[in-house]
Amino acid sequence: MTDRANNFPPLPKFLKVKPCFYQNIQEEIPAQHQQLRTLSFVAVYSVTLCLNVIGCIAWWAAGGHGSNFGYSLLWLISFSPASYICWFRPIYKAIRADSSFNFMAFFFIFFLQLVLAIIQCLGINNWGICGWIATVTFYRYNAAAATVMLLTTLLLTLVTALMALVLIKVHRLYRGIGGSVTRAQEEWGAGTWKSAPAKGESSVVDQTAQGPSLPEYPAAVPNYLDNRSW
């Protein structure tokens, strides 16, 4: 992988800061599983955090606490890149290299984020999130601002439901290829969880996607003893 230049995040060439990661979903991920590896989910989550900032501004302008706006910026700045690094990259490497260790890392981190998203949907005050409690309560003070907050709340609820769906689908894939904690421990001990499969080598995920292979027969025609009829 050393001969491949990093290409993500895509940055203008005139910047001195260069991309940190290499990824190529079309080449490295089987077509059947590319729907789990697209950046659309990270983008939707980041857009939700952006709308949350707008909702907190409306909340603040209508008489809410300014701390909510500050925390909303913190959620956006920290969780947008953290989502990509902490769970997007592990599941990418897990499917690419059939790595049980990376699958385990994804399950642990993504489950924690799912729990946090459920708490965010509740809308606890002074958390910087326009959840259900904060939105419904604020309708008594300013209906216009609460409506803006409601858009963020609905989108955040949808994202949380999608998180649960993705977690279930990845777990089914993981169990389907024979992943286990024992394999994850072996990869950790051998250090193979860091590397991708060699060029031309297919992983268990590829083999599962392609189905069972046909037996190979010898190229030469066998010689029979005679040409007797049945």
Scanning the structure block, which residue is given the tokens 């990259």? 89
Whether 49 contacts 76, CB under 8 Å: yes
Q: What is the pLDDT along the chain (230 residues), one digit of tens a residue?
A: 456 788 777 778 887 888 888 887 777 777 767 666 565 678 888 899 999 999 999 999 998 888 999 999 999 999 988 888 888 888 888 888 777 888 888 999 999 999 999 999 999 888 999 999 999 999 989 999 999 999 999 999 999 999 999 888 888 888 776 666 676 666 666 655 555 554 444 444 444 444 444 444 444 434 434 444 43
**pTM of the model as a whole:** 0.72
Scanning the structure block, which residue is given the tokens 């860091």? 194
Alpha carbon distance 179, 172 (integer Å): 10
Which residues fall within 8 angstroms of residue 104, CB to CB, at 6 or more apart? 181, 184
Burial class of residue 19 (count of CB atoms within 10 Å of its CB; 0-12, 13-18, 19+): middle
DSSP string, 144-187: HHHHHHHHHHHHHHHHHHHHHHHHHHHHHHHHHTT--HHHHHHH
183: how many CB neighbours lie within 10 A of its CB? Answer: 19
Helices (H), 25-142: 25-28, 40-61, 66-83, 89-97, 100-122, 132-138
